A and B are shown apart, each in its own frame.
Chain A
Amino acid sequence: MTTLPDTPYVQVENLVARYGTRTILDGVSMTARRGEITVILGGSGCGKSTLLRHIVGLLTPAAGRVLINGQDIHQASEDEQEVILRNLGMSFQAGALFNSMTLEENVALPIIEHAKADAATATTLARMKLSLVGLGHAGHLLPAEISGGMKKRAAVARALALDPQLLLFDELSAGLDPVTARELDELILRLKMQLGVVILIVTHELSSIQMIADQAVMLHAGKVIASGPLADVRALEHPQVHAFFDRQPRPVTMQQALLQTLLVNGES
């Protein structure tokens, strides 16, 4: 199924996610469009990665739905789901490269399986993808032999292997030195310019957000508290939004107030 150019490629509608009795996402709705970078923001543990996992169908929602290119990924048949997944590429927080394979083999695997290319063609294509992320020289190395930044770039190359319409990155620049993080941000901007794909990024790195985000969706305690163009979200009068962008620590006053309840007559 194809959609009109104006229709969002990714539509999340009233998504509810639970782990046991804990509600992680509570009625989350958001969209992501072609040619735009949508950043999912929020503090640690607010449900960002869980949202991403629902979008790619790794988790099944307790309620609500996720439409990818107009199709509900959780209701799709096996063949339909395969088509959806072949059109998306995801890079995980720690890369999630197959440790028993070289970088080249990692990138070539989806090409061999889905593009039905012979091994030589797949290897050539894998080398091209690795060059795109600046790892053309490292294809023969195993994941254990490279740095964290290189792993993340290799994971991006693997996500790009089948020229997907939708790219998802989970904490791409987290834990990296500022130079490598900046290089990855520039890589994402280049991908947006060159490929015009939908890019969804989960992050809480402020510098990265400011550099790459077109749209932002901000989560707090499992709910969307702000969404829209980054500038609009930043300008929003909301204490959590301010706290996030202005890097304010959790209000000590709340803690203080709690302690007061333990003191006789609220004395201090």
Chain B
Amino acid sequence: MLIPIHSADSASLIHLREHLLAEATPGSRVILDLKAVEKLTSLEAALLLRLVIEGKKKNLEVRFSSLSLEAQQAFTGLETNMLTDGATAAEDLSPVEEVGEQTLEFVAAGRRLLDLIGELTYWLVIAPWRGKGMKWDRTLEQITKVGIEGIPIVTFLSFLIGAVLALNSASQLRQFGAAIYIANLVGVSMTREMAPLITAIIVSGRSGAAITAELGTMVVSEEVDAMRTMALSPGRFLLLPRVLGLLCAVPCLTILSNLAGIFGGYWIGVILLGLGSRNYLQQTAQALLISDLITGMVKSVVFALLIGLVACYRGLYVQGGAEGVGTNTTASVVTSIVLCILADALFTTIFFYFE
């Protein structure tokens, strides 16, 4: 079949491709007569090449005729793999291959996470016995970053959460003349649930993101590789101090959050509802059990570990430059918040049945 091409603009070529692929008989030979075309742009050349490639997939042999020397210049950069569509072959996976690929990636990710946990355990437990102590100065630096610098935001938000809890419960409890039980509700909610969770969410958004972005940038700029070539382990110098920093800072911030939240409830109860300062504090003290505080503390330690592992993992395995750092930082925050809430639900269920 000989098709004369009078105009090789993009729209005409796209139209021709659709028409040809839909109507030409498989196995036939299509010759595009380009006699009327003096020259081509590189986009038009690429569209002609797509015709050849996609024609081949439909068992059509597409060839050009009377291509002027000037038009041939538009094909500069042509390489063999472009004619076989090799560049996109990897994307055209069958559903089964896609599942296989995803499974392998999942297994590889699990292995990398285990490597990370193994490395942290080695530097925390084994290495100190072999004369390779922990980097306390770097750990202190992280405690400052996560803990000290996180105090204002954790205190402020926890105070507000405590106040909001008190206000919400007041409207219900006042109907039964039981407004004093606001103290119980705020105290128990804060120590068991809200304080560990709100602290974990703030820390994962603030410090978890910072850890991932910092480590990711170091990976992208080859700083982590440079460390390795200097026989300085990233596990010892970068990861362990960050995880330990979180493990120390998050429980402390949680205690602070407890106090701020209870104070938020106290402020509403005493100033707005007139419950009496002494009464409110006595009621809070009676309502709180040591097991409530321990429950909250156990959760905060687990949350800190989750945030640390996720942040370090996401940071250390960044791929694809600046974009990869951004993607992994977002993923780090989302993953750690989801994991913390899942862990919280699990703990609450366990404590509910075993108390």
Residues of A near any B CB (own CB < 8 A) = 53, 56-58, 81-82, 85-86, 88-90, 92-94, 96-99, 109-110, 113-114, 158, 255-256, 258-259, 261-264, 267-268
Contacts and interface: CB of A to CB of B under 8 A. Distances in A.
A155 B50 CA distance: 47
A94 B229 contact: no
Contacts of A53: 225
A259 B232 contact: no
Q: Chain A: interface secondary structure?
A: mixed
Contact of B231 (A85, A92, A158, A268): A85
Contacts of A262: 52, 63-64, 83
Contacts of B230: 85, 109-110, 113-114, 158
A58 B228 contact: yes
A33 B188 CA distance: 71
Contacts, number: 80
B221 A110 contact: no
A268 B69 contact: yes
A90 to B, nearest CB: 4
Nearest to A84: B231
A179 to B, nearest CB: 26
9 contacts: A85-B229, A94-B221, A98-B218, A99-B217, A99-B221, A109-B230, A255-B75, A261-B83, A263-B63
A109 B232 contact: yes
A110 B237 CA distance: 12
B106 to A, nearest CB: 16
A258 B221 contact: no
Contacts of A97: 223, 226
B72 A268 contact: yes
B269 to A, nearest CB: 46
A267 to B, nearest CB: 7
A96 B231 contact: no
A268 B76 CA distance: 15
A96 B225 contact: yes
A161 to B, nearest CB: 8
B31 interface: yes
Nearest to B33: A264
Nearest to B214: A100
Contact of B66 (A99, A258, A267): A267
Contact of B72 (A88, A109, A113, A259): A259
A263 B223 contact: no
Contact of A114 (B64, B76, B228, B231): B231
A110 B75 CA distance: 53
Contacts of B221: 94, 96, 99
A109 B221 CA distance: 18
B75 to A, nearest CB: 5
Interface residues of B, number: 28
Interface string B208-228: 000000000110011101101
B109 interface: no
Given A99-B223, A258-B80, A268-B67, 19 more contacts: A82-B231, A85-B228, A88-B229, A90-B229, A92-B222, A92-B226, A93-B222, A96-B225, A99-B217, A109-B232, A110-B232, A158-B226, A255-B79, A258-B78, A263-B63, A263-B67, A264-B31, A267-B66, A268-B72
B65 interface: yes
B277 to A, nearest CB: 48
A235 to B, nearest CB: 30
In this complex, the member of A93, A109, A255 whose beta carbon has the largest number of chain B beta carbons within 10 angstroms is: A255
Interface of B: 31, 52, 63-67, 69, 72, 75-80, 83, 217-218, 221-223, 225-226, 228-232
Contacts of A256: 72
A92 B226 CA distance: 7
A110 B76 CA distance: 50
Contacts of A268: 67, 69, 72
Nearest to A113: B232
A57 B31 CA distance: 55
Contacts of B65: 263-264, 267
Top 7 A-B residue pairs of the complex, sorted by shortest distance between their CB atoms: A85-B231, A96-B226, A96-B222, A264-B65, A90-B229, A82-B231, A92-B222
B64 A263 contact: yes
A53 B229 CA distance: 9
B108 to A, nearest CB: 11
Contacts of A263: 63-65, 67
A100 to B, nearest CB: 9
Contacts of B218: 98
B15 to A, nearest CB: 21
A109 B230 CA distance: 9
In this complex, the member of A57, A89, A113 whose beta carbon has the largest number of chain B beta carbons within 10 angstroms is: A113
A109 to B, nearest CB: 7
Given A109-B230, A263-B64, A267-B65, A92 B78 contact: no
A112 B237 CA distance: 13
A10 to B, nearest CB: 14
Contacts of B64: 262-264
B38 to A, nearest CB: 15
A34 to B, nearest CB: 20
